[in-house]
């Protein structure tokens, strides 16, 4: 877990993920674009974080099936999440797939990411497929597996760069709405706190000189 991410932040992201507000938007975005969309907390364990649910890229899914996900995929995911701390970032994996992370922020720091992608912005050429096959073989794939994965790669969805950029702009606006919702949840939680608890906190702060106790 990130040093800047508390259990409270993770719980907030989980609340958002299970909210009707997020689920309706997620379903609408996935239906309209054909892309996957997930919401993950910063530092959330488990891989891959964008390969669950509808609209998975079949190549990505097959490559990461089982208990041993692609090492290069995992490295690319980690780099993407670390880079997308304040603004939307897009990164290409070793196969040229675009994956993007849009930060969801609260109180000046990022507590989660919207993730989408698993698409190509150009139709793969014969040369692209041959290069991929060589990379797969070098990573220990059998000829049969290499052939299957290369065929799936060649049939991957393609979205031109301009259209994909537009989709990311829409998600950036949605992330602001999620941030506003989180702020509202936090305020409602504080307002619903019993008077005795608030007084106890105030007493503790007065004794310790701490300005704010969460």
Task: Count Cβ neighbours within 10 Å for each residue of 91-130 and write b for 16 or more, e otherwise.
Answer: bebbbebbbbbbbbbbeeebbbbbbbbbbbbeebeeebee
Average pLDDT over residues 164-183: 95
Q: What is the pLDDT of residues 47-93, one digit of tens each?
A: 545 555 688 899 988 888 765 667 778 788 888 888 988 999 999 98
């Amino acid at each position: 877990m990130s040093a800047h991410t508390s259990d409270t932040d993770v719980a907030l992201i989980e609340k958002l993920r299970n909210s009707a507000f997020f689920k309706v938007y997620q379903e609408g975005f996935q239906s309209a674009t054909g892309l996957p969309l997930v919401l993950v907390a910063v530092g959330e364990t488990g891989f891959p974080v964008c390969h669950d649910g509808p609209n998975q890229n079949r190549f990505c899914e097959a490559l990461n099936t089982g208990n041993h996900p692609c090492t290069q995929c995992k490295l690319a995911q980690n780099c993407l999440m670390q880079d997308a701390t304040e603004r939307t970032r897009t990164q290409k994996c070793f196969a040229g797939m675009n994956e993007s992370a849009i930060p969801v922020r609260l109180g000046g720091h990022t507590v989660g990411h919207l993730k989408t992608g698993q698409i190509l912005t150009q139709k793969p050429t014969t040369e692209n497929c041959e290069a991929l096959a060589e990379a797969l073989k070098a990573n220990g794939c059998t000829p049969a597996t290499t052939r299957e994965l290369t065929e799936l790669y060649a049939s991957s969805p393609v979205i031109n760069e301009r259209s994909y950029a537009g989709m990311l702009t829409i998600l950036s606006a949605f992330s602001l709405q999620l941030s506003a919702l989180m702020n509202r949840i936090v305020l409602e939680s504080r307002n619903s706190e019993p008077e005795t608890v608030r007084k106890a906190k105030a007493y503790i702060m007065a004794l310790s000189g701490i300005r704010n106790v969460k």
